[in-house]
Amino acid sequence: MNKESVGIVETKYFHIDEPIKLDSGEILDNVSVAYETYGELNKDKSNAILICHALTGDAHAAGWHEGDKKPGWWEIVIGPGKSLDSEKYFIICSNVLGGCKGTTGPSSINPKTKKPYGLDFPVVTIGDMVQVQKKLIDSFGITQLTAVIGGSMGGMQVLEWMVTYPEMMKKAIPIATTASSSPQQIAFNDVGRQAIFADPDWNKGNYYETGKVPVSGLSLARMIAHITYLSDESMDIKFGRGLQDKDEISYDFSVDFQVESYLKHQGEVFVKRFDANSYLFITKAVDLFDLSVNGSLIDGFKGVETKVEVISVDSDWLYPTEQSTEIVTALNANDVETSFSEIKSNYGHDAFLLEKGQLNHILSKFLADNTVEDIMMEKIATIRENANIEDAAKLMVDKHVTHIPVVTDDLKLIGIVTSWDLSKSIATGANQLKDIMTKTVKYCNAHESIEDVARKMRKFDISCLPVVDEDMKVLGLITTDQISNLLS
């Protein structure tokens, strides 16, 4: 275990006392939520980040469980010094409603029958999953999250958070996802479900007490899905047409190729850790996901308030970049502050779990809480109101600046003079600084975010702002060039 890991962690459980009303109208009682946290919640509870997992993920996003041979599923970005820094943030990840890793799902005991739910478990939606997550977040006393982040089905949860609880987060990062499942995506999920239905051991969902598990059906469903997580290029690089443990083709229906063996192994491993009925319910929730309103995604995103970073993968054909750009376009149409990044990878859809360098760079850049104080110029030239224009001109030349704050003897801001003002003085024949300086000065404070200041500069079409304290004393200057350099 290295120093960049959160170390040994354990899964915790939150029990929701009140009934949960689902999108279907059904009521679910006695819901439990499995979750893990990394880092410490600060005093004002302002440093929390929610991580949303993908289709077959769970609450164990980082660190190690006792006896485990591998860490949590997003260890590459969560931990000390990483983009999701556990020494800075309080990171929360919970298992989704309908899952099989501790949160209430079809394998849980139905309080009415005292037996596993099976198909008596109600159909759930991504919205239902997010509603349960919201109750978990509320239990910490958190009123606003620093960010909500997730990939694939986790990205759908992020988008749902943005629409349903727009004031609950400062930033949102949906990765390799879509705002509505396409017919092709639904088709792949349905074929997987049909494979489970066709397994005689599935027993119409009532297999928990039979001693038999629909291994064949669930394994086949996983094999089908896993193909969509890869790319043609990654499969060619990894396997090509290489043979598996043989020197020549067998000319029968045994496993000839390495790719066949790989998929078979993926199916066999999966059935040991996942429940077939949970697979049915969760894939159905993904199929039902659609944030458009009356066919319009623009209308669906009305009311979104958070700042958004949309991330896609160039080789992802399950949730291709085109679907991410549709999200960006709809958000832009609603004047939501949105940025977009595309991961370059041959891994396909799974790249969001594997591309350590690119992910940490993109996440760190977007989550950075840069303030004016971080980049402002502190040792700056100032001038008094009773100075003449020649003094101001010489000062600009000596200091190589185009803006000089005009201050009182105790350095309180009362105006600003620019190179443009000096040009104006020549045209008007003015000699005194007070005759040409701008007295209605726009300014900012040291603790303001770079984003807010950049918006202020764009709004008023200015390239420099004095930085002042609560007493209006000048602390420094910030320019559009500094902001551009930071962002680049």
- Catalytic center residues: 152, 316, 349
Judge residue 124's burial from the number of C-beta atoms within 10 Å of its C-beta, 0-12 exposed, 13-18 middle, 19 or more buried: buried
Query: 195: which residues sit within 8 A by CB, 6+ positions away?
Result: 216, 217, 218, 220, 221, 224
Q: What does the block give as tokens for 284?
A: 């159905």
